[in-house]
Amino acid sequence: MRSKGVLHADTQILVPFFDVDSMNVVWHGHYVKYLEVARCTLLDMLGHNYTAMLESGYAWPVIDLQLRYVRGAVFGQTLNVRASLVEWENRLKISYLISDLATGERLTRASSVQVAVHVASREMQLASPKVFVDAVERMLP
């Protein structure tokens, strides 16, 4: 979960009331939603978001998700969610850091792994499609 990544995108999220439990802390399941928002920002930055993935004939299901909670987020807190691209040639691995925007305090670390699945045949691909690899490599320094 601690891989730095070659590219990253930051997203700010203001914790809404409906995401907290009776103790005013974000319910653990909502963090996955925050990761998805950051992942979409990163994919948009690459110019190859979920719409482009599907148009190229591939779906990218999540096959692994890991989260490590350090401190709970609370109602009204503004979070910074950083999504960092770690792997892209054989699978899509992204690491995440959720922190308090004002203080920089680390709240949660996470990682997700997705694989390309050819939509028509429903076959998992052992390597990422060229169209996706090319999109990533255009953004590399």
- Residue whose token pair is 């599907």: 54
What's the mean per-residue pLDDT of the chain? 95
Structure confidence by residue, pLDDT tens digits, 111-130: 999 999 999 999 999 999 99
**Domains of the chain: residue spans and CATH:** 7-139 (3.10.129.10)
**pLDDT category, 2, cuts 50, 70, 90?**
low
pLDDT surpasses 60 at 8: yes
Strand residues in the chain grouped as ranges (E): 7-14, 58-59, 62-69, 78-87, 92-100, 106-114, 117-118, 123-124
Its sign, for the CA torsion 89, 9, 99, 4, is: positive
Whether 1 shows a pLDDT value over 80: the answer reads no
Q: What is the mean pLDDT of residues 88-93?
A: 97
